[in-house]
Amino acid sequence: MPHQMPYRRILYGLFVIGAGLTLAGSVMTTKAVAPTEPVIVPSATTTRVTAPLDADGYVDYLAALNQHRGQDISPEENAAIPLLEAIGFTDHGLADTNLIRIELGLPAWAPGMLNLVSIGEFVDEKTAGFKENGVVIDAEKFQAVSNRITQQIQSKPQPWKEAEFPDMAELLQRNTDSLKLVSEASLRPKYYRPMVRRDPHETLLGSPLPDVQAYRDLARQLSMRAMLHLGHDRVQEAQNDLLTLHRLASQISHGATIVESLVGNAIDERATAADAQWAAHPQTTRAQLATYRQELANLPPIGDFANQLNDTERFVSLDLMQAVARGRVKAEDFFPVVRPITAATSSEESHVELFPDWVLPEQVMHNVVGWSADWNVSLATINQLYDEIAEIVKDPNPRTRAAALAAFNTKLHEERLELQTYGAVVSYVLGSSQSRGEDTGKSFAAELLTGLQTYFETDNRVKMRRLTTIAGLAILEYRTVKGACPVSLKDLVPDYLSAVPEDINTGEPLKYVTEGLNFNVYSVGKNRENDGGRADTNNQKWDDVGFTMPPLP
């Protein structure tokens, strides 16, 4: 039996149609028409920045962000330039990479220039004989070669020689020049990679990041080379590669986007996973341990989520809202307050359900909403929410910051649910232009500002990995001198550490346990429970983070 629309929904649908027709007025057409005059007044309250403006009088957020991030950085000190030269033609798109190169004053990539052979390209080369026109013709051999190379790449950090992993040895040899340039780039003091757009109407959200994704590949290859050096007892060369990884991680994590922070964090975790292998090598000297520890301690802090949220993510949100106001993006693509009217949503009684297109066409509602809200109020509402976030993330105490972020996320979630009820949509349609602007801003922010605490949990974990590595190196240096592990971390102060390292998850000293010459120094992780130094990334039952000697298998 066909589903019968409840009487309440029929009345609601008739109400919205009538109210929408009255509200839409002259803009009620079957095709959205963008306003001919700017509907946004640039100001600190609405657009955050007031320049530069495009030809239509709207803020060019991409140009504004590049001006802000790239000021006072010369080409000679910018690590992004040699990094781009090192990776050359990435798997993620030559056209996009060239946009970034040209923005930095580099020529477009051309054959003959440096080009990092990525792991993906290498696998494709090695399996090309088992395919015709892109179709696998010998699945067994194709899978065998793919699995062989993948196992080499995914193996845990440990010293190795060419005979063990011949494929990786070949790949590293082919990329010698690119990896050398990466090492040189990591010594530069600053990092600025501009945001670019493929076409004039593209928003910041669509800005491509092909080079950033390629850095993960670089990190895998550098960490493999460090372990190859160890396999040949080249301790200093291994140390150089690992320091390059740590420096690269710090640089990239301070880029404009949260993606760069996440990639930088991933690179640093890869480096710290290999640090213990290097430190445990029998030919690693006390002087090398001390130098490495000091180098790590002097690196800039990993991650820059606070500034990326306050600058780039804010600009992304404002830029998207501005694009909606200009008619370049459909309102219903982003706003839950519109979606319940125009698309299927929850079937719960408190939510609006699907209405047929002939009752409420998406394009009609786009016009009603798109040109009836006060977009200046929408932008001001978004800015206010980002101001709240900026205050929260200023808190240096990760525990109180986490509580405040959780409360903020709860508030957004509750407002989002409220904006999807029958009453909210009725109020939206009948409300003033200002109230619609405020609701639209809240609804939009709720779509983009979810899960902030996850970013900072990732940030904390990586910071703890680096801190426990520094502490572990200090313990090893002490053990080299004294012939035994320190009884307490206090014994390392002041000769090896300036203070007892603190676990940012608890505000207490790091956990430290010993058994003869073996030890484990660790953070209790985000669950703030002592899991005995154990970590289980599969089911996350344990989440301690630390430095173990001997290295974990």
Contact criterion met (CB below 8 Å) for 82 and 188:
yes
pLDDT at 359 > cutoff 50: no
Stated pTM of the model: 0.86
pLDDT in tens, 71-122: 999 999 999 999 999 999 776 678 999 999 999 999 999 989 999 999 888 9
pLDDT number for residue 48: 96
pLDDT in tens, 116-170: 999 888 998 999 888 888 888 989 998 998 888 888 887 789 999 999 999 999 9
pLDDT number for residue 369: 53
pLDDT number for residue 134: 81
**Positions of E strands within 265-416:** none
pLDDT in tens, 479-495: 999 999 999 999 999 99
Contact criterion met (CB below 8 Å) for 22 and 429:
no
Could you write out the DSSP letters of every residue in 179-198? HHHHHHHTTSSB-------S
Question: In this structure, how many other beta carbons lie within 10 angstroms of the beta carbon of residue 27?
Answer: 16
Q: Residue 514 forms beta bridges with which residues?
A: 519
> Which amino acid is present at 4?
Q
pLDDT number for residue 453: 80
The domain locations on the chain are 7-62+309-450, 74-295, 454-549
Q: How far apart are CA 194 and CA 369, in angstroms?
A: 34
Percent of the chain with pLDDT over 70: 82
The structure tokens listed for 37 are: 């005059």
